[in-house]
Structure formats: structure tokens, C-alpha cells
Amino acid sequence: MSDVALPAARARSASPALLLLRRLVRRRLVLISLFILLIMLVAALGAPWLAPYSPRKMDIANRLAAPSAAHWFGTDEFGRDVLTRCMYGAQLSLSVGFLVVVASLTCGTVLGVVSGYVRQLDGLLMRITDALMAFPDILLAIALMAALGASLTDVVIALGTVYTPRVARVARGATLVLRELQFIEAAEALGASDRRVIVVHLLPNLLSPLLVQGTFVFAFSILTEAALSFLGAGVPPTSPTWGNMIAAAQEYMQNAAWLILAPGLCIVLTVLALQAVGDGLRDALDPRLRRLT
């Protein structure tokens, strides 16, 4: 009897994080996506050791060479190895995405919680987010780049400004729902300070919607960064990103299609994987949606 009951009891005692992970991995698409992201991450972090060549090593005799055993993704207009540059590009493109997620989640959560909690500020803060969201992403980003400069930090500031309002909206919405719930009311009735209610009761419950939103912000900022680089308003071309590799490859496209294919595929695979993980997370966290799709 007790032998039979034991596994069930153990499953019930599994941590919520573990349950979530199990639900996620059960979907094949999410599993594949996580694998793709892992490969990208390893390629980016391990570039100095794993990359077959140096990202700046030129080989003019061997320029615009088609993909071969020596150069899997071919070489570019200076004879530099495209695979190597894609790996170093992953460093920058993924760092931009990650830093934008950190920046916009931090600022957006603060704005959203304040807006949902302090009624007097709600109207003003939400109109400001409305105003910021009235600019198309790329337009606001490029205008900010024109004002700020062209360093990695500037790109992160520009994209962080673009995506903060989106996070703020989600955080505010969730805060408004949560603060009407009984456990928050109970905490307030017990005399918990606003700070305690927010930090101990509210923030942990905001985690899952913010996590989902963070995945999408990651995906969008990789796309927008690529577009900025393509337009010549991103990180300077001396350091490779997926976007500026495509921009530089434009002229040679006719003779060397692999030059835009390789970084393009990196962008598509990463963004696709991030979106699939985001969708998977949302479904795993929201049982109602899981039933529907």
C-alpha cells in the first residue's frame, strides 16, 4: 500500500520550478528550441576557443570562397571565415538581447508596480507609456541612436527604452489583478507595510507573466538590433553582429549568397526558438490557455 502511494506523494512535493520545467520539456518544439538556444549560447561564449579562425584574420587570396570543409559557411569579402564571425556575432547579438531584457524588465516592473499600486500616478505613467508606444519600435530606436551615439551601451539604452513600456503594461495589469486578491488583502489587514506586500507577496507572483514577456522582449530586441545594424545606426561594423554582417554582405550577394544566408539563419533560429520557448512558458504557466491550444 505504502509502496504505491509513495511515488504520487513524491511527485506532489516536487518544486513548482521542476514541475514547470517538466511541462515545458514535454513539448517537442520547446525542447528543440531550448537545444537551439543552448547551441547559440555555447557558440557565443565559447567563440574564442571553439571558432576555427580569428574573426579579424583576412585572407584576400581566399575572398568570397563558397562553403567548404575548411570554411563551413564560406568566407566574406576580406576572406574572413563566416562561421567564426557568426559565432562572435552571437556574442554581441545575444548580449544586446540579454541586457535589454534586464534593463526593460527592471524599469518596466518598477513603473508597472508603481502604476498599479499608487493610484495618483497611474494616469500619468500610463499616458507616458501610451506616448512611447505610439512610436514604431524601430523608429524610436533609430531616433534615440541618432541622439545617443553608436556604442553597445547606446543600443541597449535605446532598445531598453523601446521595450520598457511593454513590460510596464504587463506588470501593471498583473498588479491590478493581484492586489484585489484575498491573500494581498489578508497581508494588508495583518498590517504588512506596502513594501512588504510588494516585495514578499506581489513580486513573486509577477514573475511568471514577466518571464514570458522577457522571452519575447529578448526575441524582439535581437530583431530590432539587427535592423538597426542593417540601417547603419547600430553597433559599428568593426565588431560583427548578425545584423551588420548582413548589411555588409549586400554588395556581394550576387556572387556569395551564403554571406547573408548564414547570419540570417542565426537570427531566424534564435528568434524562433525564443518565441517558441515564450509560447511554451505561457502555456505551461496558464492552464486555461493549455486547454485551448
Partner 1 sequence: MTRYLLRRLAGMVVVMFLVATIVFVIAHVIPGDPAAVMLGPSATADDIAALRTRLGLDASLPVQYVQFLHSVIRLRLGESIFLGRSVTQALAERAPLTLQLTVLAAALATLIGIPIGVLSAVKRGSMADQVLTASAMAGASLPSFWIGLTLIEYLAVRLHLLPVAGYGPPDAGILERLTYLIMPAIALGIPNSALIMRFTRTSMLDVLQEDYVRTARAKGLAPATVIFKHAFRNARTAVLTVIGLTVAGLLGGAIVTETVFALPGVGNLVVSAVLRRDYPVIQGALLVISGVYVLINLGIDVLYAVLDPRVRY
Binding footprint of partner 1 on the chain (CB under 8 A): 29, 127-128, 130-140, 142-149, 219, 223, 226-227, 230-233, 243, 246, 250, 253-254, 257, 260, 264, 267-268, 271-272, 275-276, 279, 292-293
**In 10 A of CB 278, how many CB atoms?**
21
Match 498599479 to its residue by C-alpha cell. 116
**151 closest CA partner among 98, 107, 96:** 96
Tell me how far apart the alpha carbons of residues 263 and 41 are, in angstroms, rounded to a whole number.
15
- Tell me, what amino acid is at 189? A
Closer residue to partner 1, CB minimum distance, 144 or 184: 144
Minimum CB separation of residue 267 from partner 1 in Å reads: 6
Quote the least distance from Cβ 156 to partner 1, whole Å.
15
**What share of residues in the chain are helix, strand, coil (percent, to 5)?**
80, 0, 20
Please state the φ and ψ torsions of residue 116, each to the nearest 5 degrees. -80, -20
Residue 273: CB atoms within 10 A of its CB come to 23
Query: Distance between CA atoms of 101 and 223, rounded to whole angstroms?
Result: 13
Q: Between 210 and 274, name the residue whose CB sits nearer to partner 1.
A: 274
Closest CA to 89 of 203, 225, 201: 225
Contacts of 235 (CB under 8 A, 6+ apart): 92, 96, 150, 151, 152, 155, 225, 229, 241, 244
In the bound state with partner 1, the residue whose beta carbon lies nearer, of 154 and 198, is 154
In the bound state with partner 1, the residue whose beta carbon lies nearer, of 57 and 290, is 290
User: What is the closest distance, in whole angstroms, from the C-beta atom of residue 242 to partner 1 in the complex?
Assistant: 9
Rank residues 208 and 275 by Cβ distance to partner 1 and give the closer one: 275
Residue number with CB closer to partner 1 (214 or 234): 234
**C-beta of 79 vs 232, nearer to partner 1:** 232
Q: What is the DSSP letter of 13?
A: T
State in angstroms the smallest separation of the CB of 274 from partner 1.
8
CB of 165 to partner 1, least distance (A): 11
CA-to-CA dists, residue 149 to 107, 140, 153, 157, angstroms: 22, 14, 9, 11
Angstrom distance (rounded) from CA 117 to CA 198 = 9
* Least distance (Å) between residue 199 CB and partner 1: 30
- CB of 61 vs partner 1, minimal distance in Å: 26
